[in-house]
Amino acid sequence: MGMPMTYILRLLLPCLTACLFCPPAWANEFTPAQRAEIVQILRDALKQDPSILRDAVNALQADDGEHQKMALAAAKDTLIDPADPVGGNPKGDVTIVEFFDTRCPYCRKLEPTMAELLARDHGVRLVYKDLPILGPASVLGSKALLAAQKQGGYEKLRDAIMAAPPQTTKAMIQDAALRLGLDWKRLEHDMDDPAIQARITANVQLARSIGIEGTPALVIGGELIPGAVDLFELRKTVATARGAK
């Protein structure tokens, strides 16, 4: 017995879609009439069974997820730099790598959730990855944090900047640094250290290599979690990573 046409199209749709919208070189050999015929076949198939499109999208997403897992596995040995700022328990049995932008509203939304996780679970190490993608004010904030790290003040200045208005300025950073007892002149000088810019550049390149498209982004175990997740999801992912050890 032959296979139903909708079943055949369900199998072929991802390939046909790729040919039409992301065409390889040989796809240019289709004539306009042939392309029109393929489009009509797709339209007819979707009218008969709209779930075909859903299945095709799910298949493409699964493929993207597999590529992302491979990228994370490839970056395993370079994901964490010994120079990265660390919060929580530096010797924790589960590591969360947080890519964040000081001006990102979703990163700020994640702050109390992450603080509660660290308060409840003393086996979590939190590695900070400054990823200033929202403009010059974000870069300024990241440079200030990495400069403060040299004085042992990364986390306390981070808390201050994340709690302040998002349009970070040097005056705001200076005020916060002085309140926190940091050496402002040293901090201001260190912000221009080429090594700090190099670290930011390395974070951006790393984020791209593992498919991070925005902030916040968390890497826990072998999983990449985009966005500000709630405490339940965060604890569940940490538990899964801990159980996999």
Q: What angle do CA 38, 39, 43 make, to 5 degrees?
A: 120
Q: Is the pTM of this model over 0.85?
A: no
Average pLDDT over residues 215-223: 93
pLDDT in tens, 1-44: 444 444 444 544 555 455 544 554 545 567 888 778 877 877 77
Nearest to 115 by CA among 90, 142, 152, 88: 88
Handedness of CA 18, 19, 20, 21 (dihedral sign): positive
* Domain boundaries, given as residue ranges, for the chain: 5-70, 86-243
Q: Which two tokens stand for residue 48?
A: 């008969």
Residue 64: its pLDDT value, please?
Answer: 53
pLDDT at 215: 96
Arithmetic mean of pLDDT, 191-204 = 97
Spatial strand order in the sheet of 94-100: 86-88, 124-130, 94-100, 217-220, 223-226
Residue 173 CB burial class (10 angstroms; 0-12, 13-18, ≥19):
buried
From 6-15, 39-48, 140-149, 160-169, the region with the lowest mean pLDDT: 6-15
Alpha carbons within 13 angstroms on the beta-carbon side of residue 112 total 3
Q: Percent of the chain beyond pLDDT 70?
A: 80
- Please, are residues 143 and 189 in contact by the beta-carbon 8 Å criterion? no
pLDDT at 52 exceeding the cut of 70:
no
* Mean pLDDT taken over the chain: 85
Percent of the chain topping pLDDT 90: 65
| pLDDT of 109 over the 70 cut | yes
| Residue 95 scores a pLDDT above 50 | yes
- Residues 195 and 87: their CA atoms lie apart, in Å, by 22
Lowest mean pLDDT among 1-15, 87-101, 109-123: 1-15
Structure tokens at 227: 């966005």
Q: What is the CA radius of gyration of the chain?
A: 24
Alpha-carbon distance values, 40 to 30, 33, 34, 126 (Å) = 14, 11, 10, 52
Q: Tell me whether strands 94-100 and 124-130 are parallel, antiparallel or unpaired.
A: parallel
Contact 93, 245 (CB under 8 A): yes
Instruction: Looking at the structure, give the CATH architecture of the domain made up of residues 86-243.
Output: 3-Layer(aba) Sandwich (3.40)
